[in-house]
Structure 1
Amino acid sequence: MSKLDGNERWKSKMLLTEHAEQYEDQHRSQGSSIITAEERRLLRDYTLLPHMEKMVQKSISDVEYSNNLFKRLHLMVNQYILNRIIGDSYKLRRELKQRNIRILNEEQADMVVYYHYYCRGYQERFGMTRDVMRSEISLRLTKYSSELVALLKEQAKESGKTL
């Protein structure tokens, strides 16, 4: 038998509205410290863009030393994609800084690449498998290529030529 069994005032569990509002406000403010899906997308992009930049730079150096017939075309396409990657990286770093998110270091374990980050005072870990990274990089490079093709088609349309 506890001390509260005979006490009648503990039977009613009434909650005042101001206490309920304080409780909800407290949980709303704590919920803002947890990383959102949009911020996870930013982290994913931040981790992928340096790998993509290295890949495109390697492709540029490979094409420069080749005897390819369309060497100049390949260089121009790769340079356009590299410029887009660098621009996106700059925008992404600025966005992460505004949201008070810092990415610290990278570690690899069992085909998973982990990144430690601080988000509004909380330290967490974000990881991606190499297969996911490859597919995401492929999708992003395809997106950049299709943007270039759309841009070329638009310019050809404006000049009256067909592509």
Structure 2
Amino acid sequence: MLDVAVQHESDWPELDWDAIGAKAAAAAVEQTPFGELAAADAVIEIAVRLTSDDEVHQLNRQYRGKDKPTNVLSFPMIEPDLIEALTQNSDDGEVILGDIVLAYGVCAHEAAEKGISVEDHATHLIVHGVLHLLGYDHQGDSEAEAMESMERAALDTLGIPDPYLVRED
């Protein structure tokens, strides 16, 4: 089972972020080999924080050495190759996968540039963050293509168009 807890600050629109976060996380996990684990008896926990650019800026500087806000940060709590073993061997059947943090200003600005809703863009960023928690990355071209393919597939199940299509207006 996948348990997603969402905390949001007042700058974010009043939406059912718990449901949005849960659907985005589930869609992401289903695109990976970990999908079967999420359906098993173990409880896999993810925390999502929807916050300000200032907070994300501080976290980005502290943990990544980058002195600017970014759209999403992921903080995995366990190594991906240990997830299956931990879900099978944890005392209480719970595994804390990690935390995802989104910056409202950056997210809203990017959504406006793309001509999409903040909700859809935040959903994409949560999918992206969950894949990072599961060990996927986009450092090289092949890694980026694989991760983007999983993102597209997850978002398609949620009725959200491909965020990587180049729009010509």
TM range (shorter): under 0.3
Please identify which structure carries the higher helix content.
1
Provide TM-score, normalisation by structure 1.
0.25
